[in-house]
Amino acid sequence: MTLQLVTENQTAPEEDPNVPDKQFQIWTPRDLVEKNVPPEWTIKGLVIKPTYGMLAGAEKSLKSYLAQLIAVGAAGGVPILGQFVVPEPVPVLMMCGEGGRLPYTRRLLRIAEAYGLDLADLPLYTTFDVGSVTASPFQTAFVQHLKDYQPAITIIEPYYAFHGAASEGKMLHIEGDQLVWLSHTCEMFGSSLIIGNHYNQTGSGSGLRRITGAGPAEWSDSWWIVEKDVNASDVTVGHFELRFEVGSRQWGAADYDLTIDLGPFDDEAMDNTGEITWSVAKHVGTRTVQGTAANLILSMVITEPFVHTKTEILAACKGSSDDNRNVFMALSLNGKIECRTVKRDEHGKMMPREVWGPVYGRKLPDPDAVNGTTPESEVD
């Protein structure tokens, strides 16, 4: 395995005064002071400039969606998830290693629509080829893309598609060599690096130490860790409740409760359909009342579709009644639930009542069925 660090003479922009003209250059205290710059955010509270690290989580925890939500928002200059401010639009390089061009494009179109952006106009540059980080074709193309497009953010997702066979995950020093080559090369061009990765299959708990392979925890300057609440999420309707930890050795860390609704999975479209919506709140030890209310409402209408009235559903929700009514209204307006008028037996009389059930894409479930189901989405 050969990993040659990039030097200014090879590819780095000449106008960057912070790029050394040779490897192992000596910096005096005066040099450091003269080249020092104040901290700067590429995405406030999410990506400091420059940085590098892992966006990681377990299977089906929306890692790929989050990577693309970051990419589109940064390129469009809009707040990521409505929470993390982008001071100005920036070029983004996306190295997509799984899923394929067409599903990727359809997903980007939905994300851009949710942000209110025109995807065709964004400085977002994507490659779908895969290859080992240690191989010459990858290294040559990687450096050339950084030189040509000068991305402020580079996203490699997922890492396993580019890892190669020159190193095993448990080989700390060789793994570190690969990661350092990637981060060093990005840094030479002023680009922050985000690598999508998975949790290992046998560990427990969460955080950097759960990321597959040796090296990520030691190497990461920043991290974006996502945990899915399996009890509160429902893949069949595209509802995900996540714990989102954002941190950096440069500025600290913050935890968020993140709710994302992708819409139900459609067999014909082979993807989630409908509008993508989200809400973000600072994590305060327990999930927000609104997140809990949304989960309970969806759970009731999914397990017993078109059985309960709005009054009955809201009576089962804890917390502020006004907040719960607002959540109920939002689920209705966003096309997650809908009502039908049915007659039901109440003390021996058939009374017409407005009862609520889920919306499964274009085709609604049979109101006489006990349960409605749709195939599980292949989201990641």
Q: Which two tokens stand for residue 184?
A: 């060093």
Q: Is the pLDDT of residue 225 over 80?
A: yes
Rg (CA), the chain: 24
User: Are 42 and 186 contained in the same domain?
Assistant: yes
Q: Could you tell me the CATH number of the domain that includes residue 48? A: 3.40.50.300
Q: Is the pLDDT of residue 288 over 50?
A: no
Render 206-275 in DSSP notation, one character per residue. Answer: -SGGGBSSSSHHHH-SEEEEEEE-TTT-BGGGTEEEEEEEEEETTTEEEEEEEEEE---EETTTTEE-S-
How many Å separate Cα 9 from the centre of its chain? 36
Q: pTM for the full model? A: 0.69
Based on DSSP, count helices (H) and strands (E) in the chain, helices before strands: 10, 15
Render 147-160 in DSSP notation, one character per residue. Answer: HHH--SEEEEE-TH
Residue type, 97: G
Overall domain count for the chain: 2
Within-domain flag for 137: yes
User: Are 190 and 51 contained in the same domain?
Assistant: yes
Determine the pLDDT at residue 366: 40
Q: Is the pLDDT of residue 13 over 70?
A: no
Determine the pLDDT at residue 286: 46
Q: How many CA atoms lie within 13 A of 306 on its CB side?
A: 18
Determine the pLDDT at residue 75: 98
Within-domain flag for 17: no
pLDDT digits (tens, 9 = 90+) for 54-65: 998 888 888 999
Is the bond into 17 cis (omega within 30 degrees of 0)?
no
User: Which residue has better confidence, 364 or 48?
Assistant: 48
Non-local (6+) Cβ contacts of 87 within 8 A are 41, 42, 44
Domain-terminating residue out of 196, 222, 248: 222
Within-domain flag for 259: no
Domain-terminating residue out of 193, 222, 251: 222
Non-local (6+) Cβ contacts of 293 within 8 A are 317, 318, 319, 323, 324, 327, 328
Q: Could you tell me the CATH number of the domain that includes residue 348? A: 1.10.10
Within-domain flag for 278: no
Q: Which two tokens stand for residue 252?
A: 């600290």
pLDDT digits (tens, 9 = 90+) for 298-353: 878 887 888 889 998 888 887 777 778 878 887 887 677 889 998 888 778 888 98
Query: What is d(CA 167, CA 3) in angstroms, rounded to the nearest whole number?
Result: 12
Q: Is the pLDDT of residue 66 over 90?
A: yes
Range of 166's domain? Answer: 38-222
Query: What is d(CA 13, CA 53) in angstroms, rounded to the nearest whole number?
Result: 23
User: Are 298 and 168 contained in the same domain?
Assistant: no
Within-domain flag for 305: yes
User: Are 200 and 52 contained in the same domain?
Assistant: yes
